[in-house]
């Protein structure tokens, strides 16, 4: 259950992600109003604060990461045994049926670039010609938008004011429109575009 109530607008139909789940049936209109910096690595003030708690990696992407484990160990200098916590959480909305969280090391996600910026999994993908969507979880790529019980909505960090880069750029939707199209398709963002126009006119 999402700790912040999600006021939602039903969509014309349900939209399943390219993995089959999640399935989005409604949208919290606050994604069209709330804003964030968006261009993460151009930010000069957050110091990657959003990486301080680690990230939930759905089982589908966990398996994909482990396929690259040998190369990722060489790239990160960190053994695979130190990447994830031991507890696994079931969640039918996530690809593979659940998730495991990355460990935190030195106040940041274990995959955060030491003495630098950004994600080492993302950097590994770029260095090896791999689409980062193949290894980075849907929750990670959509942040600070998330989903709960079929509703697309702002992440808790936006709603509780702890996202340091909130209120500094485009709307959540505009910042993540391309990612949403990647996961849910062109028809999905076409309907959201129309809904965005309605919200803006209200």
Q: What is the pLDDT of residue 200?
A: 78
The pLDDT tens digits of the residues spanning 172-187 come to 999 999 999 999 999 9
Mean pLDDT of the residues in the chain: 88
The pLDDT score that the predictor gives to residue 65 is: 98
Confirm if 25 and 11 have CB atoms less than 8 A apart: yes
pLDDT reported for residue 2: 53
Q: How far apart are CA 188 and CA 196, in angstroms?
A: 12
Alpha helices in the chain (DSSP H): 59-67, 69-76, 120-127, 138-142, 156-159, 172-184, 186-201
- Rounded to 5 degrees, φ, ψ at 36 are -155, 170
Q: Where are the domains of the chain?
A: 9-197
> According to the model, what pLDDT value does residue 51 have?
58
Mean pLDDT of 99-123: 89
Per residue in 13-37, pLDDT (tens digit) is 999 999 999 999 999 999 999 987 6
Q: Which of 56-60, 77-81, 119-123, 158-162 has the lowest mean pLDDT?
A: 158-162
């Amino acid at each position: 259950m999402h700790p912040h109530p999600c006021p939602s607008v039903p969509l014309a139909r349900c939209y399943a992600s390219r993995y089959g789940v999640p399935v989005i049936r409604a949208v919290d209109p606050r994604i069209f109003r709330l804003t964030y910096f968006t261009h993460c690595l151009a930010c000069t003030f957050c110091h990657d604060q959003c990486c301080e708690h680690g990230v939930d990696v759905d089982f589908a992407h966990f398996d994909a990461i482990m396929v690259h484990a040998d190369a990722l160990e060489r790239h990160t200098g960190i053994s695979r045994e130190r990447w994830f916590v031991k507890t696994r959480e079931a969640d039918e909305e996530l690809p593979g049926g659940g998730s495991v969280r990355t460990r935190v090391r030195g106040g940041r996600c274990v995959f955060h670039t030491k003495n630098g910026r950004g994600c080492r999994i993302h950097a590994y993908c770029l260095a090896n010609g791999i689409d980062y969507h193949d290894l980075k979880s849907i929750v990670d790529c959509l942040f600070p938008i998330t989903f709960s019980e079929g509703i697309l909505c702002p992440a808790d960090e936006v709603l509780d004011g702890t996202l340091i880069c909130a209120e500094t750029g485009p709307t959540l939707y505009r910042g993540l429109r391309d990612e949403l199209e990647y996961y849910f398709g062109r028809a999905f963002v076409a309907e959201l575009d129309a809904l965005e126009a309605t919200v803006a006119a209200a």
